[in-house]
Amino acid sequence: MKKTILFAMLLLFGSGCATVSLSKVAVANQNKLEGLMEGMNKEEALKTMGSGQVRSGLYDFYAVVKNPYKTEVLKGSHKTIEVVYYFTNWSSGGVWEKRPITDNELTPLIFEDGKLIAYDWNSLREITYKYELDKELVP
């Protein structure tokens, strides 16, 4: 009986850490956004935000986030924009939840000709519309 209770406590403790861990990663990335400035070249912006896999917490064997989380190139009739996404907002749906990170938990860094022109969803929507880029934006 004692072993069962101890095991249950370890599971609850370890699973709760994953949520805390992911929120720590998101907050750390969110804080790094303050170091960005429009006009920075892509290399400076990515150095400011960091790259590689981020793991936070001893018990979080499945709480690993890749920085940047994803990258895409949006092409329009006259422009090509590169968008690099970082995980900055954790919306926990439960302690045990092992779900993928969604777009509304990401912040887009928008580059034109290798320069950072904006880093928010509203700007990405405006740029997508202005340059008629092939992208459907939800967040």
Task: Look up the domain containing 97 and give its range.
Answer: 2-130
Closest CA to 107 of 56, 40, 36: 36
With respect to residue 136, please indicate whether it lies within any of the assigned structural domains: no
| pLDDT tens digit at each of 139 positions of the chain | 554 544 444 444 444 444 446 788 899 999 999 999 999 999 999 999 999 887 655 555 556 789 999 999 999 888 999 999 999 998 765 544 566 788 999 999 999 999 999 999 999 999 999 999 987 665 5
Tokens linked to 31? 């804080």
With respect to residue 86, please indicate whether it lies within any of the assigned structural domains: yes
Phi then psi dihedrals of residue 37, to 5 deg: -140, 135
With respect to residue 139, please indicate whether it lies within any of the assigned structural domains: no
Instruction: Report yes or no on whether pTM surpasses 0.85.
Output: no
With respect to residue 103, please indicate whether it lies within any of the assigned structural domains: yes
Q: Is the peptide bond before 100 cis (omega within 30 degrees of 0)?
A: no
With respect to residue 31, please indicate whether it lies within any of the assigned structural domains: yes
With respect to residue 123, please indicate whether it lies within any of the assigned structural domains: yes
Supply angle C-alpha 40, 42, 47, rounded to 5.
90
The answer to whether 58 and 16 are in contact (CB under 8 A) is no
**What is residue 24's predicted lDDT score, i.e. its pLDDT?**
82
**What is residue 31's predicted lDDT score, i.e. its pLDDT?**
97
Q: How many domains does the chain have?
A: 1
Q: Which amino acid is at 77?
A: S
Question: Going by DSSP bridges, is the β-strand pair 80-87/64-67 parallel, antiparallel, or unpaired?
Answer: unpaired
**What is residue 138's predicted lDDT score, i.e. its pLDDT?**
53
**What is residue 64's predicted lDDT score, i.e. its pLDDT?**
75
User: Which region, left, alpha or beta, applies to residue 39 given φ > 0 means left and ψ of -120 to 50 means alpha?
Assistant: left
3 state DSSP class of 6: helix
Using CA atoms, how far apart are residues 133 and 11, in angstroms rounded to an integer?
46
Q: Which residues are CB-neighbours of 37 under 8 A, at least 6 positions away? A: 116
